[in-house]
Structure 1
Amino acid sequence: MIAAMMTAANLGARLTGWGFVVFTIGSVCWVAIGLSSGQANLLASNAFLTLVNLVGIWRWLGRQATYEDGAETAKAKSHKASVPSLFTATGVAGMAVVDAKGKPLGRAVEALVECRSGTVSYVVVATGGVAGIREALRAVPREAVDFGCDKLALTLSPTAFEALPALDGGDWPAAAVPQPVTA
């Protein structure tokens, strides 16, 4: 159960990877029980699960952790160098979102990027609710978002933000409704 929570939470490569380590310990123990009790089905299914878990360890503690480390290193170096500061594109999801006065509004769920230009079209912002239940999602046009390294600041007034149409679960628009910037 602990391993399932660690992997389901998806709180980063290392926590997910350690969840697979816990899964592996469990599946190895079940392999031992299958061997000692002559239960071929238990042995076979947990031998396969051990293989799957080892792939999870390699994927999350090996490869993905290396990617996250590289991205974080580039981010940190950019803050100290005479180049524009960077943040990871995957870091947008979960970033705090504040209004123009710095008051917390919610969190970014996703940024939609135009294929041809590579520019952000809009950011989906979640407000209210608990653990995704009864939250409101809104598509905020790129021109109304100031990207910071640790948060996104909206240039919309709170009234203009609330006036944006709420998104319906998995039915997001092809483009956000342009809004006047009200800094």
Structure 2
Amino acid sequence: MSQVVLQCLQYYCAAAGTVAALIVSLDLGRKWTGWGFVIFVTSSIALVAWGFLDDKAEGIGLQNVALFAINCVGVWRYLLRRKRPG
């Protein structure tokens, strides 16, 4: 894989993860937190791709398979699930 592509994936993941963490940590409400988790999902997808395309980063890829699932739960919980009445 091209080193340029791998480097772009790395920088995207770093930036997206930082922005998502900031959004979630600010606790601006369900909608904002949900969108923070959407950004985390994109970051996890990019890190899985990078982890399996770079010979030396397989551990990051495997870790982000699990983080992808966790972040999908966050999207479901904050954006897709109907809030229970009462």
Q: Which has the higher strand share?
A: 1
Q: Same fold (TM over 0.5)?
A: yes
Question: Pick from 71, 75, 80: which aligns with 1:53?
Answer: 71
Secondary structure of 1:11's counterpart equals: coil
**3-state DSSP class of the match of 2:83?**
helix
Matches for 1:119-130 after TM superposition, within 5 Å: none
CA RMSD of aligned residues (A): 1.7
- Pick from 37, 42, 59 the counterpart of residue 41 of structure 1: 59
Question: What's the offset of the Cα at 1:2?
Answer: 1.1
Mapping for residues 19-30 of structure 1, pairs under 5 Å: 19-30=36-47
Q: Structure 1 segments of 4 or more deviating over 6 A? A: none
SS in 2 for 1:67: coil
Higher helix fraction (1 or 2) = 2
What is the correspondence of 1:28-107 to structure 2 with a 5 Å cutoff?
Answer: 28-38=45-55, 39-63=57-81, 66-67=82-83
How many residues align? The count is: 68
Higher relative contact order (CA 8 A, sep 6+): 2
Name stretches of at least 5 consecutive residues in structure 2 with no aligned partner: 1-17
